[in-house]
Amino acid sequence: MRAEIQSVVAEIENSLELLRQRMDWETVQHRMEEFNARVEDPTLWDDPAKAQKLMRDRQTLVDALDTHNSIQQDLSDNIELIELGGMEEDEEVVADAEAALKSLKEKAGSKELEALLDGEADANDTFLEINAGAGGTESCDWASILARMYVRWAEKRGYSVELQSESSGDEAGIKSAAYKISGHNAYGWLKSESGVHRLVRISPFDSAAKRHTSFSSVWVYPVVDDDIDVDVNPADIRIDTYRSSGAGGQHVNTTDSAVRITHHPTGIVVTSSEKSQHQNRDIAMKALKSRLYQMELDRRNEAINEAHEAKGDAGWGNQIRSYVLQPYQMVKDLRTNVETSDTKGVLDGDLDQFMAATLAMNVSGKSRAEAQGD
């Protein structure tokens, strides 16, 4: 086997070893047997919330096992093909197997990074807020482009996306939007997107076709589930109802159903504008608890706190990523220096390379400056 392919095999084996460590390999069989026994308990669904958590935990372990075993099997099969092809001097079989191993290395590396999403809230659903920054109409349009980008990214991963609230721009785009994105590790992946995003392009709103720079900020925080207790003192909040507005059609409500909750100690304001006022209160309270929980996570985790503090205002000097469409095509993450000229792909939701690089940087314990130095 060629030295290059031996190196590929070694990297895949290292990824498999990390996956085993994250699963606590010595106890996997025992835990599966325990899960299966509890699933068969006829009293399990007497407590639906507890039962749903058990089923989620079981499925997470099943998925991890399936991933590990699939990679292990593909590795063994392709090594065997290379050996057989070499014995029979069939270069085509060897070349196909080597190409398959290289693809498998990318898959194993991605799963290895995903296995590192073991923070307290990484597996949770997430709220994602987008706000237009400096730049007026340009930034409102840019905010709507970012919203589309994240929706496309979530849909490609099979996540569900719910629009929680939206404020339209005066001429185009949106001033702000809030989404709930649901799926395994949604928060773990998206948390690296918090920050200011900068766009450089020829303005479609400028008759002189001049180049403009626009900014929008992204804020990501986890959906707090029943396993995370967040106490909110009723005396600390103000709940206002108002008539929601939209672009027309199904988004127009004729009753004062929208809800705004203000948390006085922190200044946090959350809104929800679905049709049911009761539903809006529930959604807004969950969003508030999630924001408060994120603040607590920030206090615990200095690295995350530094990243959020660095976000600052949506303007010059605070961006985490630049999207340049003119005079050349380039998207570059300023924390990890990962870049690509495939701007169309990125704006269509191809964000995994940026998220993976930031996750790897955080796991390695590197600061932003150290990563840029590398």
The pLDDT of residue 339 is above 80: yes
| Angstrom distance (rounded) from CA 361 to CA 344 | 25
Q: Tell me what pLDDT residue 303 has.
A: 44
In this structure, of 82-91, 123-132, 285-294, 320-329, the range with the lowest mean pLDDT score is 285-294
Smallest Cα–Cα separation from 38: which of 52, 24, 28, 25? Answer: 52
* Neighbouring C-alpha atoms within 13 Å toward the C-beta of 82: 18
In the chain, how long is the greatest CA-to-CA distance?
79
Per-position b or e across 92-101, b if 16+ CB within 10 A of its CB: eebeebbebb
CB atoms within 10 A of CB 37: 9
Check residues 138 and 244 and name the one with the higher pLDDT. 138
Check residues 45 and 374 and name the one with the higher pLDDT. 45
Q: Which two tokens stand for residue 335?
A: 């924390």
Instruction: Output the pTM of the full model.
Output: 0.62
The model's confidence at residue 228, banded by pLDDT at 50, 70 and 90, is low
Q: Return all residues near 370 (Cβ < 8 A) that are at least 6 apart.
A: none
Rounded to a whole number of angstroms, the CA Rg of the chain reads: 24
Sign, Cα dihedral of 100, 106, 110, 111? positive
